[in-house]
């Protein structure tokens, strides 16, 4: 009688231990939801060129893509030029590195910046 009770007790104990250990899962919120320095969050709800995209271009692209001889003959200092870069499918191709050389050359944009660019494009590339 004792020999049949022991395997059942071990099985039940193992099951309870397994359930209790699986409830100890922990996510690092900072890793799941990265935040840009100087901002409180990565806001993709209402991106505009003036508030969202222009700062990304200034900080990451205009070092090479501005002036009288911009790299790749692509000046990214104006809304119209950025829209043209998006419409010819090369801008996001370079940002994502999809069959194009990855831009910026100093390293890829942050996940937040890429998400903001995608959201801006999906929302029709609003100026303001």
The predicted structure's pLDDT at residue 28? 58
Does residue 72 sit within a domain?
A: yes
What is the C-alpha to C-alpha distance for residues 98 and 33, in angstroms, rounded to an integer?
Answer: 24
The parent domain of residue 72 ranges over 45-122
Does residue 17 sit within a domain?
A: no
How many helices, marked H, and strands, marked E, lie in the chain? 6, 0
What is the C-alpha to C-alpha distance for residues 64 and 73, in angstroms, rounded to an integer?
Answer: 10
Separation of first and last alpha carbons in the chain:
79
Does residue 28 sit within a domain?
A: no
The predicted structure's pLDDT at residue 100? 83
The predicted structure's pLDDT at residue 24? 62
**Do residues 53 and 120 touch, judged by C-beta distance below 8 A?**
yes
Number of C-beta neighbours around residue 95 at 10 A: 23
Q: Which residues of the chain have pLDDT under 70?
A: 1-3, 20-40
The predicted structure's pLDDT at residue 81? 94
Does residue 90 sit within a domain?
A: yes
What's the pTM?
0.66
The predicted structure's pLDDT at residue 56? 95
Does residue 15 sit within a domain?
A: no
Domain count across the chain: 1
Does residue 96 sit within a domain?
A: yes
The predicted structure's pLDDT at residue 61? 92
The predicted structure's pLDDT at residue 23? 63
Does residue 35 sit within a domain?
A: no
The predicted structure's pLDDT at residue 72? 87
Does residue 118 sit within a domain?
A: yes
The predicted structure's pLDDT at residue 69? 92
């Amino acid at each position: 009688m004792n020999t049949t009770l022991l395997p059942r007790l071990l099985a039940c104990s193992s099951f309870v231990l397994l359930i209790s250990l699986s409830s100890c899962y922990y996510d690092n919120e900072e890793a799941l939801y990265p935040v840009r320095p100087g901002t409180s969050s990565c806001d993709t709800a209402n991106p505009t060129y003036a508030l969202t995209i222009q700062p990304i271009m200034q900080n990451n692209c205009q070092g090479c893509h501005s002036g009288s001889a911009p790299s790749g003959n692509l000046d990214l200092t104006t809304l119209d030029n950025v829209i043209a870069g998006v419409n010819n499918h090369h801008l996001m191709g370079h940002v994502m590195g999809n069959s194009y050389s990855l831009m910026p050359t100093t390293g890829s944009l942050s996940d937040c910046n890429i998400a903001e660019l995608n959201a801006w494009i999906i929302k029709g590339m609003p100026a303001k």
